[in-house]
Structure 1
Amino acid sequence: MSQLALGPSLVLITIGVYGFIAFTTVLSFTGSKMLPKLSSFVGFLQYERLWANPRWLVAVENFFVFSILYVALTTVLGLGLAILLDQRVRAEGFLRSIYLYPMSISFIVTGVAWQWLMSPELGLERALRTWGWEGFRFNWIKDERMAIYCVVIAGVWQASGFVMALFLAALRGINAEIISAARIDGAGGLQIHRHVIIPALRPALLTAFVVQAHLAIKSYDLVIALTRGGPGYATELPSTFMYGFTFSRNEMALGSASAVVMLCTLAAIVVPYLVSELKHEPRH
Structure 2
Amino acid sequence: MKAHDNLLPRLLLSPSALLVLVCVYGYIMFTVYLSFTASTMLPTAEWAGTANYQRLLGLENWEVSLRNLAVFAGLYIVIAMVLGLALAILIDQKIRAEGVLRSVFLYPMALSLIVTGTAWKWLLDPGVGLEHTLQSLGWSSFSFGWIKDGDMAIYCVVIAAVWQTSGFVMAMFLAGLRGVDSEQISAARVDGARTWQIYARIVIPQLGPVFVSAFVILAHMAIKSYDLVIALTNGGPGRSTWLPSVFMYQYTFARNEMAVGAASSVLMLIAISVVVVPYLLREMRGAKNNG
Matched, 1:104 2:110: yes
* In 1, Cα distance between equivalents of 2:114 and 2:198: 41
Counterpart Cα distance in 2 of 1:68 and 1:269:
14
Which residue of the partner structure matches residue 5 of structure 1?
Answer: 12
- Superposed CA offset, 1:214-237 (max 9, x none): 111111110001000000111001
User: Which residue does 1:123 correspond to in 2?
Assistant: 129
Instruction: Give the C-alpha shift of residue 187 in structure 1.
Output: 2.4
1:169-248 pair list within 5 angstroms: 169-248=175-254
Match of 1:229, SS state, is coil
Which residue in 1 is equivalent to 2:21? 14
TM-score in terms of structure 2 length: 0.94
- Equivalent residue, structure 2, for 1:154: 160
In 2, Cα distance between equivalents of 1:22 and 1:271: 18
Distance 1:255 1:124 in 2: 37
TM-score by length of 1: 0.96
Please state if 1:36 is matched with 2:32: no
Instruction: Let me know the Cα RMSD of the aligned residues.
Output: 1.2
Residue 24 of structure 1: aligned partner: 31
Aligned residues: percent identity? 56
Runs (5+) with no aligned partner, structure 1: none
* DSSP 3-state at the match of 1:201: helix
Q: Which amino acid aligns with 2:100?
A: F
Segments of structure 2 that go 5 or more residues without pairing to the other structure are: 1-5
Write the letter of the residue equivalent to 1:33.
Answer: T
Residue 212 of structure 1 and its aligned partner are, at CA, apart by 0.9
2:146 aligned partner: 140
Q: CA deviation at 1:186?
A: 3.1
Q: Describe the SS at the equivalent of 2:143.
A: coil
2: CA distance, partners of 1:14 / 1:135: 58
C-alpha distance in 1 between matches for 2:237 and 2:172: 35
| Offset, 1:261 | 0.5
TM-fit CA distance, 1:145: 0.5
Is 1:51 the equivalent of 2:51? no
Moved more, 184-193 or 120-129: 184-193
Distance 1:127 1:283 in 2: 56
The residue number in structure 2 matching 1:249 is 255
**How many angstroms apart in 2 are the aligned matches of 1:44 and 1:116?**
43
1:79 equivalent to 2:72? Answer no
2:187 partner amino acid: A
Deviations 1:49-106 (A, max 9, x none): 1111111111111011101111111100000000000111011111111111111111
How many positions carry a matched residue from both structures? 283
Please give the per-residue CA displacement for 1:96-150, whole angstroms capped at 9, x wherever unaligned.
1111111111111111111111111111111121122222211111111100000
Residue among 60, 71, 87 paired with 1:65 = 71
Q: Which of these residues, 250, 266, 276, is aligned with residue 270 of structure 1?
A: 276
Deviation at 1:6, TM superposition (A): 2.6
Structure 1: how far apart are the matches of 2:252 and 2:279? 31
